Amino acid sequence: MADKHLHIISFDVPYPANYGGVIDVFYRIKALTDSGIKVHLHCYEYGRGRQIALERLCYEVLYYKRDTSFARQLSLLPYIVTSRSSEELAKQLQKDNYPILCEGLHTTAILNDNRLKDRKIFVRAHNVEHDYYRALGKSEHSLWKRIFYLAESVKLRRYEPVLAKAKGIFAIAQQDFDYFSKRYGKTILLPGFNAQDSVCSESGRGDYVLYHGNLSVRENADAAEWLIENVFSELEIPCVIAGLNPSEKLQKLASEYPNITLTANPDDAEMIDLLRQAQINILVTSQPTGLKLKLLNALYNGRFCLVNSDMLKGTALQPLCIVKDEPEEIIAEIKHLMDEDFTEDDIEERDAMMKQLYRNEENAKILINTIFSA
């Protein structure tokens, strides 16, 4: 049987797999490679560097500089697309006739390249991007950034019909599937890929509450600040905030309360340990877009998972979470859960449901069958 080759164009270097978007990309590449697919990985690099781990995993890895110059922001096309448009990439893709998977709307400039119009090009949709950027704009404190995000949202809405040129779309969440299938058809629901095949939560009790996320992302920083000001500051229970690149403002805010600890830039092992030792993993968001991969991380590794309604939009995970929206409700639930044991039965129930929904090997088969039979 002939080898199957697949080009994957990633919006960022997907290793280390330490924030939401690249977690999905990295573990999808791993699942495809484990299934025998020869992955030709094309990465836009803008700070994460070249990674030997990717070169060991993939058939080949090629890197392209992302053009983040101000001139790209003046384009009528979305900045996330124009900054990832590469003639070098287009030439590389013309060297063979293998199918192509674009990670996110970010990497779809090739759909407008007539030299590639006869290629089988698929898109992994990580969000309905114009909704995501509109929500970023509404939550942004900086006037300049707010203008940028809202303008980007308009550009993305206007640009999105380029997806009609794709052979197929893989949506990450149910609400995204509903949106894309209504507008473009040819959409398949493909849940997020992740580090684990089974739940690794520990039974018993922990002694702290944990919020985690990429703290350099405005959405996550806002969530952390909201929790500090409205929930954690009203508790005597130890509370931990952990994640990448917290701002000085967030660090200062956390330091004002003796029960709050901020752990900046934990490595993978430290983050897993924080998730597993916590009594409660709390996750809140004001942006009901896409699938929050940090929610999967908490469910695979943590004990009780306390979330707000927006965190669950587009998922089937509500039975595995405790849902509270108002600060007083969240505080009361935290106090209640701190005295509860997380049992072996809880772990078995969670594991059974997660295996129904998030199966890297089975989901890789869906992707392979779709791409190579199209």
Per the domain annotation, does 199 fall within a domain?
no
Question: Angle formed by the axes of helices 360-373 and 20-34, to 10°?
Answer: 70
| 130 and 228 housed in the same domain | no
Does position 171 have pLDDT exceeding 90, yes or no? yes
Whether 180 and 125 share a structural domain: yes
Answer yes or no: do 343 and 366 share one domain: no
Phi, psi of 255 (to 5 degrees): -70, -15
* Closest C-alpha to 125, from 184, 85, 195, 180: 180
Domains: count for the chain: 2
Same domain, 219 and 350: yes
Residue 290 has pLDDT above 70, yes or no: no
Within-domain flag for 304: yes
pTM of the model: 0.86
Question: Among 40-44, 119-123, 138-142, which is the least confidently predicted range?
Answer: 138-142
Per-chain mean pLDDT for the chain: 94
> Does residue 52 sit in the same domain as residue 178?
yes
Distance CA 133, CA 193 (A): 23
Scanning the chain, the segments in alpha helix (DSSP H) are 20-34, 52-57, 70-73, 79-82, 87-93, 129-139, 143-159, 174-184, 218-230, 248-255, 268-277, 293-301, 327-337, 344-357, 360-373
Residues 44 and 123 in one domain: yes
Q: In what order do the strands lie in the sheet with 239-243?
A: 260-264, 239-243, 209-212, 280-283, 304-307, 322-323
Same domain, 108 and 243: no
Residues 21 and 169 in one domain: yes
Q: Is residue 201 part of a domain?
A: no
Does 324 map to a domain? yes
- Per-residue pLDDT reduced to its tens digit, 297-350: 899 999 999 999 999 987 888 999 999 999 999 999 999 999 999 999 999 999
Give the pLDDT confidence score for residue 173 in this predicted structure.
Answer: 87
What is the CB neighbour count within 10 angstroms for residue 372?
A: 13
Which CATH number is 88's domain given? 3.40.50.2000
Tell whether 187 and 283 lie within a shared domain: no
Residue 74: DSSP 8-state: T
Distance in angstroms (rounded) separating the CA atoms of residues 281 and 275: 7
101 neighbors 371 (Cβ within 8 angstroms): yes
Q: Are residues 38 and 169 in the same domain?
A: yes
For residues 123 and 111, give the distance between their C-alpha atoms in angstroms, rounded to a whole number.
Answer: 10
Q: Of 126, 109, 121, 103, which is closest to residue 12 (Cα–Cα)?
A: 103
Torsions phi, psi for 65 (to 5 deg)? -75, 130
* d(C-alpha 175, C-alpha 289), whole Å: 8
Query: What DSSP string describes 315-363?
Result: -S-GGGSEE--SHHHHHHHHHHHTT-PBPHHHHHHHHHHHHHH--HHHH
Residues 251 and 339 in one domain: yes
Q: What is the pLDDT of residue 291?
A: 62
In a domain? residue 203? no
- Whether the Cβ atoms of residue 218 and residue 248 lie closer than 8 Å to each other: no
90 class by beta-carbon count within 10 Å (0-12 exposed, 13-18 middle, 19+ buried):
middle
Position 202 in a domain: no
Give the pLDDT confidence of 228-267 residue by residue, as tens digits: 999 999 999 999 999 999 999 999 999 999 999 999 999 8
* In a shared domain, residues 117 and 259: no
User: What is the residue range of 215's domain?
Assistant: 209-356
Phi, then psi, of 210 in degrees rounded to 5: -125, 135
Q: Is the pLDDT of residue 12 over 80?
A: yes
Residue 19 has pLDDT above 70, yes or no: yes
3-state secondary structure 291-313: CCHHHHHHHHHCCEEEECHHHHC
Highest mean pLDDT of the ranges 19-28, 85-94, 285-294:
85-94
